[in-house]
Structure 1
Amino acid sequence: MAPIRLRHPKGVTTVDIDLASDTITVRDLQQIVFSHTEIAPSSQELKAGYPPHALTLVPDLPISSLGLQRGEQLVVTEARGSSTSHHRATTSASSTAGAIKPAPAPVAPQVLKQVASSSDAVETVRVDGGVLVHRVVPDDNSCLFSSIGIIFAQDMSAAQQLRQVVATEIRKNELTYDEAVLGQSRESYIAAMSKPSTWGGAIELAIFADHFQTEITSIDVESGRLDRFGESKYSNRAIVLYSGIHYDAVSLAPTSDAPTDFHETVFDVKNEVILQGAREMAAKLKAKKKFTNTATFDLKCEICGKGLKGEKEARQHAKDTGHSQFGEY
């Protein structure tokens, strides 16, 4: 990891990014910038070096293509005349350790159905005050909503109700959640998100952070990065684990076998012991290969049988053929 300083209209922010990674893309960097500046990726202008020179941003290229160095300062501005010049999107995720995978959100179900499966084995990490427990939820396309249900209601069956929370917030905030942020028309996004087959991602986590007035920190299992939703806005924090295409919750229990009624799922945002324990849990999951790299995993179209490599090819195949059901080899 290498520190990068972002100088933007809101101030100066330092983030840690693996500049040599082949899996972290320019798009991921743009999402990090978005999380701290609320400038949509399509409106961002980034400059580096001295004197500062404009960077050519090709979203699908690895971040190494930008030639950034450790300690580099990026000057972030918003392109004049952009659709976000007069209002800011607040559906952001703040990252402190690398590229953001929940934003862009996990592969949309219209393109790729969820193919990962969580192990029945439950990871635990002992910390001061008890044991952190990996709360595994089903791989049913509602894993994010089930995890949020566990955290705020101790009930993963609240998933469908939570989908309606998202729909309501998007309807209420037309300027915040416009087509530029949602990536499609507001009506189609709301319709899709209301269905149990649609995955949630960064937009939904940002909505839940504000709805429950709690910072939600998503820890990426593969990279170890932290994506903070509602950062510096609230005094409490909840934690989810993200494996590439699946979310699970994290809770604190008196003992590893304590009934869920005794689990704590919302913590003081200043409690770094809990956060560090959750990061250790993510590292344990990574060591057991419990993550999916959506850029490289092997897929098969379940309609025509064509073999595909990663999310990008799956999206293109769906666009070319209209086929929308994919499975993992």
Structure 2
Amino acid sequence: MQLRVRHPAGQAVLTLDDSTATVAILFTSIAQTCALDVSCISLMSGFPPAPLNVAHDSSASLKDIGLQSGDTLIVKAKQADVNVTPTPVGVVGAATDVSQMSEDEQLAHAIAMSERDAGLGVAPSSSAATPAPSSVCVRRVVDSDNSCLFRAVGYVMHGSRSHADRLRRECADAVSADPVRFNEAILGASNAEYRAYLLNKDKWGGAIELMILSEVYKREIAAYDIVTQRRDLYGEGNGYSERVMVIYDGIHYDALAMAPRRNAPETNDVTVFRSDGGDAAAYDASARELVREANRTRQFTDTANFTLRCLVCQKGIVGEKEAREHAKTTGHQNFGEYA
């Protein structure tokens, strides 16, 4: 059995024996992969993701809890087990208001502050900057909570994953402020309906929202697609002198940053950089290399062809389009991937 695992530091594939693997073995394997204490781990699975409510020391088999080969698991560190070091006055971090951070961000923040205290950390730039010549593009994972696009853009724009609600409102306000531009033909719904859709935290963002956020922040947003290895550049031709980057795996957005090394703490990240200099080509090349490797290792979901089952009525479904139609006609929202 192969399981895709998305954890705070990236992604991995676990291979477990179908006949002997238990929940306890799963948690132990994830703990080793993610460098977390097994008691700190909570899991989410399904489509859309829902908590997997099992004890980490359970002897139940993976099939008993409904897992199948090819499923994706999202790993979160329980907040109670994260020891967060407060940010000293004058130190700029990925997010300085610890109480507003997500669980994953608190963990990363604690690690970063520990490295800073040991002399390893450097405060990140909050505006356009030039990464070191040896910098590499790294993927910064955000929560899979249906607001991933807004969290990813919030990270690259503000250095924090906690701005999703604010960015949703900015997109909703932009739509309602220009009903001529954002009409039913463009949105696939009335202007008022689409605004309400955006303000629903269970709904996903996409190309329209990336276009709007590019205009709100006056920055280009380079969105890299792992499945097609294509780059879409929102705000191109608008004269913006700065650029940020995000990555899409078919159902989920994460942030991209330039860092001095692959395992560098987030406090070293440069997420905003000039788009009109020669360095932009180097950063784009580094991002494309990351995307090629993610595609080679199949760190994506082919939404046009992946197979799902409705966990409410058990109907088999192929692709995101059928899933959306099924949800619209039945009201069923809970799906899981077939192997």
Q: TM-score of the superposition, structure 1-length normalised? A: 0.61
1:283 counterpart residue number: 292
Q: Compute the RMSD of aligned alpha carbons.
A: 2.3
Counterpart for residue 145 of structure 1: 150
Do residues 164 (structure 1) and 173 (structure 2) align? no
| More helix by percentage | 2
Using a 3 Å threshold, how does the CA distance of structure 1 residues 257 and 263 change in structure 2: closer, same or farther? same
Q: Does 1:260 align with 2:266?
A: yes
Distance 1:286 1:127, change over 3 A: farther
- Deviation per CA, 1:6-39: give whole Å up to 9, x if none: xxxxxxxxxxxxxxxxxxxxxxxxxxxxxxxxxx
In 2: Cα distance, 1:222 partner to 1:206 partner: 21
What is the CA deviation profile of residues 74-101 of structure 1, one whole-angstrom value per residue up to 9, with x for unaligned ones? xxxxxxxxxxxxxxxxxxxxxxxxxxxx
Q: Which residue of 1 aligns with 2:324?
A: 315
Pairing of 1:1-329 with structure 2 (within 5 A): 113=48, 128-233=133-238, 234-270=240-276, 271-329=280-338
Q: Any conservation in 2 of the 1:127–1:274 contact (CA below 8 Å)?
A: no
Paired residue for 1:17? none
Shift of 1:255: 3.1
CA distance in 2, matches of 1:171, 1:298: 36
- 1:240 and 1:294 map into 2 onto residues whose CA distance is 18
For structure 1, the residue ranges without an aligned partner over 5 or more in a row are 1-111, 121-125
Flag the structure with larger Rg: 2
Give distance in 2, aligned partners of 1:116 and 1:162. Answer: 27
- Count matched residues: 214
| Displacement of 1:326 | 2.0
Secondary structure of the 2:246 match is strand
One-letter amino acid matched to 1:217:
A
SS of residue in 2 equivalent to 1:156: coil
Provide, for residues 116-140 of structure 1, a one-character-per-residue CA deviation record: whole Å limited to 9, x for no partner.
Answer: 55689xxxxx983422211111111
Q: Percent identity?
A: 40
Q: Secondary structure at the match of 2:163?
A: helix
Segments of 5+ residues of structure 2 without an aligned counterpart are: 1-46, 50-70, 77-130
**Structure-2 change in CA distance of 1:184 and 1:260 (3 Å):** same
Aligned mates of 2:226, 2:323 — CA distance in 1? 23
Residue 310 of structure 2 contacts residue 332 of structure 2 at CA under 8 Å; is this kept in 1? yes
| Paired AA for residue 298 in structure 1 | T
Task: Tell me what 1:85 maps to.
Answer: none
1:251 CA displacement? 0.6
Distance 1:281 1:127 in 2: 18
User: Does the CA-based 8 Å contact 2:146-2:203 persist in structure 1?
Assistant: yes
SS at match of 2:164: helix
Offset at 1:236? 1.3
1:113 is matched by which residue type in structure 2? P
Per the alignment, in what secondary structure is the counterpart of residue 291 of structure 2? Answer: helix
Matched residues in 2 for 1:117 and 1:230: separation? 34
Matched residue, 1:54: none
